[in-house]
Amino acid sequence: MATTEKPFTLSVSDTDLDLLRKKLEFARLPNELDGAGWDYGAPLADIQRLLSHWKSAYDWRKSEAEINKLPMFTRDIEVEGFGSLNIHYIHQKSDATNAIPLLFVHGWPGHFLEVRKMLPLLTAKSPDYPSFHVVALSLPGFGFSEAPRKAGFAGRQYAELLNKLMLALGYQEYVYQGGDWGHLLGVHAVTHYGHKHIKAWHSNMPICAPPTLLSYPRAYLSTLFDRAAKAGLATGLAWRRSGMGYYLEQSTKPQTLGYSLADSPVGLLAWIYEKLVGWSDQYPWTDDEGEYRFLRDNIVLS
């Protein structure tokens, strides 16, 4: 089911870093329409600023050392029909004797470091709120986890892998947190394992279809006059009109897109930066916070 746990230390080679610097130095950026702003994607001025910061100010070795302070591990987990996958994860235990095991599942474009700032709060021992043993993995194909080598690895297989990881760590019962893709995987995980292993589920991206007059007349009528509901529906419709291009490309012809993103650091930067800004409600990202994820992802995936 799962092999023995091995400690993991991140160590990017100087050769990879030298290649990255050369690619950044010779990067060619496209032109931009006057006054385009964010209408057509990441603004040219933003990418120029980030590229300059990446080349001259960003310190990967400093970020690497910070990441390595986390308790990181890998282990092989068998998934039915897909063989064994080597999975990377954080396992931060609490000192509280009654701490609750928590599986933290990231989305796209995300990774295990999304939980880093919360780890001290989640694991702290306190009489006023619950404490958690936190497990935050890199999903298969993300970051430092091995990707499946054949088609068909879907929600059922992800759920199997997630549950087997928690069981391998000794957690027969646990709670689940997921956002974005992590939410969608939570649907499968709870469906298959909620009766026995998953005792609670928290989602920061609950998805539901708007009510119709025929299906839920009372709910439909209430949304007509509810400002929050109308605002939420408007956001969803705006995403359908102008924000789902990435989804269509990634879900239909990912291999074609992959050639560009695997080879071009700046292309990957722009692709993810657009979502990092657009989906985080004006969160004040620093250039360093934005760039260590792009550097890491590009080195690992190239």
Options 3.40.50.720, 3.40.50.1820, 3.40.50.300, 3.90.700.10; CATH for 70-207 is: 3.40.50.1820
What pLDDT sits at residue 182?
95
Mean pLDDT of the chain: 91
Q: What is the pLDDT of residues 14-69, one digit of tens each?
A: 999 999 999 999 999 999 999 999 999 999 999 999 999 999 999 999 999 999 99
| DSSP string of the chain, one letter each residue | -B---EE------HHHHHHHHHHHHT-------TT-TTTTSS-HHHHHHHHHHHHHT--HHHHHHHHTTS-EEEEEEEETTTEEEEEEEEEE--S-TTPEEEEEE--TT--GGGGGGGHHHHH---SSS--EEEEEEPPTTSTTSPPPSSTT--HHHHHHHHHHHHHHTT-SSEEEEE-THHHHHHHHHHHHHTTTTEEEEEESS---PPP-TTT-HHHHHHHHH-HHHHHHHHHHHHHHHHT-HHHHHHHH-HHHHHHHHHH-HHHHHHHHHHHHHHTTTT----HHHHHHHHHHHHHHH-
pLDDT of residue 299: 40
Percent of the chain with pLDDT over 70: 94
What average pLDDT does this structure show over 192-218? 88
Specify the pLDDT at position 38.
94
Q: How confident is the model at residue 250 (pLDDT cuts 50, 70, 90)?
A: very high
Q: How far apart are CA 220 and CA 199, in angstroms?
A: 32
Name the token pair of 163: 């549950």
| Average pLDDT of span 136-149 | 96
Q: According to the model, what pLDDT value does residue 2 have?
A: 58
> Which of 41-50, 105-114, 212-221, 290-299 has the weakest average pLDDT?
290-299
The confidence band for 221, taking pLDDT boundaries of 50, 70 and 90, is confident
pTM of this structure: 0.89
Question: Strand 198-203 and strand 174-178: pairing?
Answer: parallel
How much of the chain, in percent, has pLDDT values that exceed 90? 75
81's tokens? 């029909």
Q: What is the pLDDT of residue 300?
A: 40
Residue 80's pLDDT is what? 97
For 287-300, what is each residue's pLDDT tens digit?
776 654 554 444 44
pLDDT at residue 78 in the model: 97
The pLDDT value recorded for residue 195 is: 87
Mean pLDDT of 253-282: 92
**Does the structure show a pLDDT above 80 at 145?**
yes
**pLDDT tens digits for 151-189?**
999 999 999 999 999 999 999 999 999 999 999 999 999
